[in-house]
Amino acid sequence: MMVLQVLGSCVPDAVGPVAMVTELGDPLDTVRLLQLSWEERLRLALGIAQILHHLAHSPLGSLAMNDFRRQQFVLVGGTLKLSDVDDVGVTEPECSSDEDCDMRHLVNNTMPTTDRLQCVRSRCAGYNERLNIWHAGRHFVRLFLPLSAPASLEPHVQELIQAYNQPDFWDTQRILSATHSLVSHFVSGSYMPAPPPVGLISL
């Protein structure tokens, strides 16, 4: 479950406010992110990759998080969850030609894209998925994942940073697979230097 769970609600008979009770989550802010251990931040990166993949392959089609900021998420027991889905877009932008699908104006021309999206059946195919990846990198992964990362995992971390920086070459499935691979390397301990042979240990 990647969306904050609703535990109960109260709808009055007359016109009035609706009360809703959800599971309790801790808000995300810059200070909180920097206080997390690297293992916790890696878990957070995995949660982001899972949410991105879910948005791209939802039963409603590819969804866009039009307000992809840290304030839209909370941590529930260390698991990242969406707490605000008011700004989710359920369709990709309309277009009449490929030129209408240029995304750089949305990110102040800071997206290093070289591959323009195609206009397919009057919709910019892949637009929502690519935009979500870019915003997730900007507001999350590029900010916290490299900090205090184990040196031997640095190549894997930089690969992920590059993925979020170049969403025209990476889709959410590839990012999710790369994140799982990074998690596996960390959990297995294979990134740690091998201890010296017993006979060579100096006392």
- Clarify whether 29 is annotated catalytic: no
State how far Cα 51 lies from the chain centre: 6
> Distance of CA 114 to CAs 89, 101, 168, 172, 188, Å?
25, 13, 7, 18, 37
CB-based contacts of 100, cutoff 8 Å, min separation 6: 93, 94, 119, 124
From the candidates 13, 26, 29, 67, which is the catalytic residue? 67
Q: How far is CA 158 from the centre of its chain?
A: 16
Residue with tokens 């307000």: 67
Contact 115, 168 (CB under 8 A): yes
Residues with catalytic annotation? Answer: 67
